[in-house]
Amino acid sequence: MILCIPDVLNPAQTADYRRLLEEADWEDGKATAGHQAAKTKDNMQIPATHPVAREVGDAILRALATNPLFQSAALPLHFLPPMFNRYSGGQTFGTHVDGSIRQIPGISQRIRTDLSCTLFFAGPEEYDGGELIIEDTYGSKSVKLPAGHMVVYPSTSLHRVTPVTRGTRLCSFFWVQSMIRSDEQRSILFDLDIAIQRISSSLPDHEAAGQSAVQLTGVYHNLIRQWAEM
């Protein structure tokens, strides 16, 4: 499942955090690339331990903690702290797949990368190129979102960033370990959760609808009990 989530950060937050990011120290993105990815990766990143990376990363995670669409789709268990990259002057990242296990910087904990996330800080009108191309079951999906919006997609997907030929593409990227390992099972739970919410909101005073919503909620939680890994 590929899901675009609008307004993870509001315009004021996006502008404030972007100023901090633009003033931070940047390094060659190959510093965090694996052996395969290093051959195709050409961008700049803020070191993971940089104070600005930690400040803005914490703000992103706080926003996601109260974002119902993200919580429903991801069912998050652990996060790799958000990182930040920048593309300009023809920089690109060729086709690759994200590593399956990543270590959280500074501590011994490792996470399984179930979901990949990209949060945009530059609007699509500010740069040419820079599309995130995700290989889906039904073909390729091109993603280039407004500032403050985010895309979430399975980390098993092949993906790439096309060359940025004008302006600068500025994003955050990070990974999530979900309570539900299977993308197929997460999709089922997401669809079920959305259906429950629609029934509850469209017919709030209808007794039969209320009973149906309660029964479906029971099914939802029983499926989580069967599938969740904690």
Q: Output b/e per residue, 6-41; b: 16+ Cβ within 10 A.
A: eebbeeebbeebbebbeebebeebeebbeeebeeeb
pLDDT tens, position by position, 85-97: 999 999 999 999 9
pLDDT tens, position by position, 129-167: 999 999 988 899 999 999 999 999 999 999 999 999 999
Residue 205: which pLDDT band, with cuts at 50, 70 and 90?
A: low
In the chain, pLDDT over 70 holds for what percent of residues? 96
Cβ count near 46 (within 10 Å): 24
Rounded to whole angstroms, the Cα distance separating 143 from 134 reads 8
Nearest-5° Cα angle at 102, 24 to 68: 75
